[in-house]
Structure 1
């Protein structure tokens, strides 16, 4: 004989049958759209039965969701089915991403994603340099490693190999930066395109001191070298003919003028390229517009050889220059963005960097910036105070100027006398005039 349904105290219209150790079965009666509906909930815990009844009553009151247990159970089954489908899709996606990551090595990512995009954005010169770094130093060492498996030791290995074969510190840093940039690009690509998160660049822990480049240079020309350089640049057409080189444009005139300003005022190339006729018109003082330190400083151009050079340039102009016209312009009539090639060619042909003290010594290499060092060095050898040199050079602190402190002041008299004597024929004036 079937047991009688007993009302459950505390919840109206909820009934149960108690089967002892087998638990209780539940039944709920309610009115749905004017019809009495009996829901057999089946065997379950008391707590669950109470929650189901409360949910059905709330749904009925608000007229939302399932109104009966059958509807609720069907909805739950449907939701479970949908959830199962989602879980299966997610599982397949994760497996696919794992397979993709294993196949997507650093070399493959470079070829298929990074390099094609890089070629459209970067300059041809920079891209050529980056390609060489990747092909020569990065790819042979870590190219076959999947992106997510790259470690600190791998990055360190790349740099160690470059260091052991004598690669410069600057190139080592470029190798590091190229690999880091490639990694960060891959990290962003996977995050946006594939919803896959890569960790931070594993080489981030490498000490910065190892990659810190020592740019400190103390190279300068002696007066004989400076005289030879300026004389060659001033007569650059004869130099080209002597070496059977094609004469193009007037870049030699600009190279000579820029070298004169750098050697006798200490200005950097960028500041010289920015000089206007309005600035150089002030014989007492002009001001660098784009100094390296970000703070304008006074420069003195009232030196005979500079005034002579500027006067000659002004005579060659067809029209009177405007105050904001550039003193030096390239073949397109625009501002110079790099040192004229003729300057580099002359330095090479004169063999300044082949002498023993400079050969394969970056700190002693003669380039355009060496003219600025020469200016400061000559001042130091004339026993000019470091504070004054600091002001003339536009340095932000004496620490930057102290590299000139060790120059022998006993060379002063001979250096100064020889300097004026050697350059007198370039200005057409003798010392004391």
Structure 2
């Protein structure tokens, strides 16, 4: 490899010998800068160095007919400075080329992973397809900035989506980056979503039934042509279980000797044990499906669990004057009955199957009301004395 002091004139006039495919000239002024002149007439600047394994590496700078010689020398100095500090620019470039597109990472890594444990993976898939992919799908994951993600997050609200819905988009993006970091995806050194805050939500609806409202509701439920509605609603109130947990319940999940319902699949993805009260046991023993179906509440038309009982529920609640009461509010009411009768939040947490006490703390104010009532009892006693 001939060594010469490269000049602009030399670069412009040098040619590859006719008997060779290419010839490489090494610059005597800046170590590592080489000029490749090819038989086709093309000329390219490269930085040539040896990595810490002793292997020769070439990093392309660019076309010598476009890039000025001084710029090529400056780029060579920058690369060789990194090499002197123990870095490997070639490895860095290779890693950058391996950074996946969002679409590729979602389809090949994220989705197969969440399908294995996350019951709501279809929601993630829909959210990605409809909202994330149109914005980020064809971008490499390292090219997205915090500003890009913040713009996307606020943009969902600008399109009319509720803050909670916008937050779900951000949460999926954040989880994708967290998984990429956990799996050590090459070229990804930071999570750009980490600096974007979730919108604060003030729309957490809490509705608790009073005993009078429970009575009103059951008057109308008993009038429903759907005979399964009354035992379903009763079991929801007696256990605080989620609607789908009750609708999908099987007789094999119940241990009557130990008075326990083992709920196999919960929102958290883990099984949990639910103690059964005397009233719950009595209700279960009175169900006509016992010994005839694997399910507690089989649909008489399909013999499978009901997909929905909304129409029967909606009719009954409206007739009872309780149109604002959702079926999930039966779970809230179960918790409120417990707290107002003096049970601790820890007990409520265990019975509801909350993974974190923070979720259960929404019922803390009910405990405060009970305590206020308790001190009034003392006040009444002293007043009469």
- What TM-score results when the alignment is normalised by the length of structure 1? 0.46
The alignment status of 1:307 with 2:282, answered yes or no, reads yes
Residue 341 of structure 2: aligned partner: 385
The alignment status of 1:371 with 2:330, answered yes or no, reads yes
**Unpaired segments of 5 or more residues in structure 2?**
1-48, 63-87, 371-385
1:39-54 correspondence runs (5 A): none
CA contact (8 A) 1:159 1:176 kept: yes
Call closer, same or farther: CA 1:229–1:153 in 2, change over 3 Å. farther
CA contact (8 A) 2:221 2:316 kept: no
Residue 312 of structure 2: aligned partner: 346
SS in 2 for 1:137: helix
CA contact (8 A) 1:187 1:197 kept: no
Call closer, same or farther: CA 1:299–1:213 in 2, change over 3 Å. farther
User: Structure 1 residue 162: deviation in Å?
Assistant: 1.9
**Unpaired segments of 5 or more residues in structure 1?**
1-78, 237-251, 359-364, 409-433
Task: Work out the CA distance in 2 between the residues paired with 1:300 and 1:275.
Answer: 18
The C-alpha deviation readout for 1:196-227, integer Å capped at 9, x for no partner, is 421221111334x6467975623437246522
Q: 1:201 aligns with which of 181, 187, 191?
A: 191
CA contact (8 A) 1:218 1:373 kept: yes
CA contact (8 A) 2:251 2:295 kept: yes
Call closer, same or farther: CA 1:185–1:302 in 2, change over 3 Å. closer
Task: Work out the CA distance in 2 between the residues paired with 1:202 and 1:295.
Answer: 36
CA contact (8 A) 1:105 1:143 kept: no
Q: 1:110 aligns with which of 96, 102, 108?
A: 102
Q: 1:87 aligns with which of 23, 42, 57?
A: 57
Task: Work out the CA distance in 2 between the residues paired with 1:277 and 1:114.
Answer: 37
Task: Work out the CA distance in 1 between the residues paired with 2:241 and 2:124.
Answer: 31
CA contact (8 A) 2:132 2:169 kept: yes
Count, aligned residues = 280
Task: Work out the CA distance in 2 between the residues paired with 1:187 and 1:267.
Answer: 36
Call closer, same or farther: CA 1:170–1:139 in 2, change over 3 Å. same
Q: 1:286 aligns with which of 244, 249, 259?
A: 259
User: Structure 1 residue 133: deviation in Å?
Assistant: 2.3
Task: Work out the CA distance in 2 between the residues paired with 1:84 and 1:309.
Answer: 76
User: Structure 1 residue 115: deviation in Å?
Assistant: 2.3
Residue 150 of structure 2: aligned partner: 156
Call closer, same or farther: CA 1:371–1:126 in 2, change over 3 Å. closer
Call closer, same or farther: CA 1:98–1:266 in 2, change over 3 Å. closer
Call closer, same or farther: CA 1:120–1:385 in 2, change over 3 Å. closer
Call closer, same or farther: CA 1:117–1:145 in 2, change over 3 Å. closer
Task: Work out the CA distance in 2 between the residues paired with 1:326 and 1:96.
Answer: 59
Call closer, same or farther: CA 1:329–1:388 in 2, change over 3 Å. farther
Residue 375 of structure 2: aligned partner: none
Task: Work out the CA distance in 2 between the residues paired with 1:184 and 1:296.
Answer: 32
The C-alpha deviation readout for 1:224-277, integer Å capped at 9, x for no partner, is 6522563255x32xxxxxxxxxxxxxxx73x54332222245455577566758
Call closer, same or farther: CA 1:302–1:183 in 2, change over 3 Å. closer
Call closer, same or farther: CA 1:168–1:105 in 2, change over 3 Å. farther
SS in 1 for 2:286: helix
Residue 222 of structure 2: aligned partner: 231
Name the one with the larger helix percent. Answer: 1
**What is the RMSD of the two structures over their aligned residues, measured on CA atoms?**
5.5
Call closer, same or farther: CA 1:142–1:298 in 2, change over 3 Å. closer
